[in-house]
Amino acid sequence: MASLELKSLRKEFDGGSIVAVDDLNLEIEDGEFVTVVGPSGCGKSTTLRMIAGLERPTSGRIHVGGTDITDVHARHRDVAMVFQNYALYPHKTIQQNMAFGLRMSTDMSAQEREEKVYDAAEMMGIEDLLDDTPGELSGGQKQRVALGRAIVREPDVFLFDEPLSNLDAKLRTTMRTEIQRLQEELDITSVYVTHDQEEAMTMGDRIVILNDGELQQTGKPTDVYQNPTNQFVAGFVGSPSMNFVDVEADPFDGGVRLKGADGSFSYDLTSGRASAFGDIAGGSYVLGIRPEHVAVSDAPGADTIPSTVDVVEPIGSDNYLYLDLGTESRSFDTEDAPDFIARVPADIEPEVGDVIQIAFDEDSVHLFDVETGDAVT
C-alpha cells in the first residue's frame, strides 16, 4: 500500500502539437479511491498510462509511497491495471492468465502461486472457472478474471481504465459495487478512469475532473456537486445537467436583481446565496441552477418567473418539466430558447402549453463569469 503523487505531469504528442496532459498535480492518499472523469480526449487514459509506465511523461514526476518511479520500467512498478477490453490471453486458461503476472515479477513456488490465484479467484467468485479459457466466459466473468489477476499481484496501486464500459447496464451496476467492496476490503490506493460522471460520482471517495488535459476540480463528490469551481464542472457533473441562463446582474442593498439577458424575465435574489453575491460588479453573468432546485407554483409573485411548459417527462418518482422561461415578457419567437429543466414531484403534472411560475432555491443559485467561466463565490 502506498500514496501516489503526480507532480507537474505533462504529456505531449506529435512533437508538442498535442498536449494530452498539462501540468497535472495530484496527491492521492494511501488506500484512497479516486475517480478521474472528463469528456473524450481530456487526457484520462494518458494519465493512467503514465502512472502504469506505459507512456513516458514529457515532464513532471510520479511518486509512489514517496519514491520517484518516473524512470522505473512498467514491469518493475507495483502497479496493476485493469483494462476495458480485459486484455486476457485467449489460449491460456483462467488459472494461467491470473498467474501470469506473478510468474513475470516474482520467484515464488508453483504451489504458492496456485494458492494465491485460488484465493483471488474465490474473492471474485470465479474459482470454478479456473480451467476454462477466456473464450468460454461472458463479458462480466472476463472482467472478474481481469480484476482477479490484478488482485493476485498485491500491487501498491490499482489502475482502472473504463473497466465496465463493455458490460450491459445491469451488470455494470453490480460490478461497480463489487469493485468498491474489493477496494474497501483490500484498501489499495486506486485510480479509476471513466467518462461516465454518474459512475465517477457514486464510486469515488474523491472525484477528479479533467478537461483539455487540465485539472478542473478535485474533491468529495457531494462537494463538487454543490460547489463547482467553474461552469464546465457545473455542467459536467449531474444529470440532467445544471441549467444555464445568460443574465444581467444588478446588485442592490440586500440582494441582486437577475434579468434575462434577452429581456425575458427579472428575478430578485434576496436570500441564500444573495449575500455571497452582495458585492459583485453589475453586468453580464451566467446563472446556474440545478433542475432539482427549481420550485414551481401557480401563483405569480414578486420572485417568480412565468414559464411555458414545453414537455412533461415522467421518470417515476418525479417529472422533468422542460420550460420556456419568461414567457409573458418575451416579445419574440422562443423556439430557440435553450432547454430549462425543473425536476418536480410526480404529482405536479401540468399540461404542455400551461404557464406556470418558477422560483429558485436561493441557497443553490450559482453565478459564473461570462469570460472565464469561473464561479462567483
Contacts with ligand ATP by CB under 6 A lie at 13-14, 18, 20, 38, 40-46, 195
Q: Please list, in sequence order, all residues whose beta carbon lies within 8 angstroms of the beta carbon of residue 74, skipping any fewer than 6 positions away.
A: 52, 53, 54
Rounded CA-CA distance 377/368 in Å is 9
Closest distance of CB 90 from ligand ATP, Å: 24
Compute the least distance from the CB of residue 153 to ligand ATP, in Å.
24
Shortest distance in whole angstroms from residue 20 CB to ligand ATP: 3
Do residues 52 and 191 lie in contact, with contact meaning Cβ atoms separated by under 8 Å? no
Nearest distance in Å: CB 21, ligand ATP? 7
Q: Cα–Cα distance between 23 and 193 in angstroms, integer?
A: 18
Q: Whose Cβ is closer to ligand ATP: residue 50's or residue 305's? A: 50
Dist CA 317 CA 331 (whole Å): 36
Sign of the alpha-carbon torsion through 152, 154, 156, 157: positive
For the record, the C-alpha cell of 352 comes out as 404542455
Smaller CB distance to ligand ATP: residue 218 or 327? 218
Q: If 0-12 CB within 10 Å is exposed, 13-18 middle and 19+ buried, where does residue 334 land?
A: middle
Question: Smallest gap, in angstroms, from Cβ of residue 164 to ligand ATP?
Answer: 13
Residue closer to ligand ATP, measured from CB, 51 or 344: 51
Nearer to ligand ATP by Cβ, of 32 and 161: the residue is 161
Minimum distance between the CB of residue 194 and ligand ATP, rounded to whole angstroms? 9
Q: Give SS3 for 23.
A: strand
The residue among 44 and 273 lying less far from ligand ATP, judged by its C-beta, is 44
- Between 13 and 89, name the residue whose CB sits nearer to ligand ATP: 13
Residue with cell 422562443: 334
